[in-house]
Amino acid sequence: MRKRVLVCVWLMENRETTQKAAAEALGVSLSTVNATVKALERIGAVDVRQRGLRVVDPEKALMWLANMRDVYRDVVYSTRAVAAVGEIEKGMPPGTEFTAFTAYKFKYNDVPADYSEVYVYADEEALGEIKKRFPPRKGPANLFVLEKDGEVTDALVFADLWNLREWYAKEFVGALRDRILE
């Protein structure tokens, strides 16, 4: 995941903070945080003060995040799993975290539309196990593994959903947007 996206995800969870706190929490440079904050300040999403910053327009920050995110660039493995979505989800090993449709379903016990793909974040060990359980197969991929390098928050799930091309992603985007901005 790009560092500026990671910073924005963190800011959505920590809406009153300092640039130094963000840099330390994420292990990124202060200049990376500063560049992200300046972009968010330019569009009126963040108010920068002498002693910190505050996200003043979460919707603008969320839209900036969604448009900066490129979920497909972070795919480290994809395959055609010959199983129903529920079975694929049950087959995920420890070290994985769901995103997109499944993350929304499990967190909110709701499914705004039927879906046929599973997206997960996985560490190296989990990735190896996923490849054993769901070996490479030809056909349209329905299991996507993304490189895990941060916390999977609602803001990140929103950005991931925003980037998906399936028509039903829009249903999830609308439902999650409402929950985040409540």
Last residue of a domain, one of 68, 96, 121: 68
In the chain, how many domains are there?
2
pLDDT band at residue 15, thresholds of 50, 70 and 90? Answer: very high
* CATH assignment at residue 36: 1.10.10.10
Given a cut of 80, whether residue 1 has pLDDT beyond it is no
| DSSP string over 88-146 | HHHTPPTTEEEEHHHHHHHHHT--SS----EEEEE-HHHHHHHHHHS---SSS--EEEE
Convert the pLDDT of each residue in 60-98 to its tens digit.
999 999 999 999 999 999 999 999 999 999 999 999 999
How many beta carbons lie within 10 A of that of residue 23, not counting itself? 18
Last residue of a domain, one of 37, 68, 99: 68
Calculate mean pLDDT across residues 119-140: 96
Same domain, 61 and 86: no
Same domain, 48 and 121: no
Calculate mean pLDDT across residues 144-168: 94
How far, rounded to the nearest angstrom, does the alpha carbon of residue 47 sit from its chain's CA centroid? 24
Q: Is 147 left (phi over 0), alpha (psi -120 to 50) or beta?
A: beta
Alpha-carbon gap, residue 121 to 117, rounded angstroms = 14
Alpha-carbon gap, residue 86 to 99, rounded angstroms = 14
Last residue of a domain, one of 25, 41, 68: 68
Given a cut of 90, whether residue 150 has pLDDT beyond it is no
Same domain, 32 and 96: no
Q: Are 3 and 28 in contact (CB under 8 A)?
A: yes
Convert the pLDDT of each residue in 92-123 to its tens digit.
999 999 999 999 999 999 999 999 999 999 99
Alpha-carbon gap, residue 129 to 122, rounded angstroms = 10
Q: 60: domain range? A: 3-68
Q: Residues 6 or more apart from 130 whose CB is under 8 A from it?
A: 77, 92, 93, 96, 120, 122, 143, 145
